[in-house]
Structure 1
Amino acid sequence: MSEAPETAKARQRLDKWLWQARFFKTRTLAARIIGETGVRLNDVRVTKPAQNVSPGDALTFSQGDRIRVVEILALGTRRGPAAEAQALYRDDSPAPVPRAGPRPTGRDRRRLTEMREQGDGA
């Protein structure tokens, strides 16, 4: 079987592209995220995993506690290694919010507990 001619605008399913670009471990998980939370494709909310994407499209979606903003540079032919997957997109995501500071120590937690108890008794 021959491949589609390159003259036509190349398209690929959204769930398949997210899986090949290694944003999600399985294609089923990618489809579930698209269906439940939705993905913004060029600032339009999409809830169908079969939505076609092409190079130049912009995607915005949540992944864990992060918001990812990526521009599709190329379509994948397989789920390859990470270096190959990173060549498929440009990541324009905002930087993750840094932690406020180190975790509280036992001494810090005791002080917080004392302050809370003093506030309740007043």
Structure 2
Amino acid sequence: MKWGAWGLAVLALGGCATVSDIQQTPPTLNVISGKKPDEYARCVDTILNKSRGPSLLTPHKSGIKMVVRDRLSSSPAALLDIEERSSGSSIKLYESMSNNPLRSGAVLDAATHCISGQP
């Protein structure tokens, strides 16, 4: 019973964050990859699509903004800002509830894996 109440409290604290809310948090990942933005986004989406459904990919300036869905709802859980560079991409990951130690590490794991790995 206590664990159920705890789980509901965590979900309530997470609320329904918007993409703008998520982007106001400090990035949990800020790296450079040798992959082009579309190749990197495709890699991350392939990994996360299994548990979250397809991400929303939007062309932006010289790159892609990728909104990753939450596992339990259709609200956004994370935003990947992927900008093209001459030799690949610069990547910033913003996560909802980024300061919550109980959040899932799946998005960060996929984003880290795709820096140089293949799905």
Fold equivalence (TM over 0.5) = no
Structure with greater strand share of residues: 2
User: What is the TM-score normalised by the length of structure 1?
Assistant: 0.31
| Structure with higher RCO (Cα < 8 A, 6+ apart) | 2
Structure with greater helix share of residues: 2
User: What is the TM-score normalised by the length of structure 2?
Assistant: 0.31
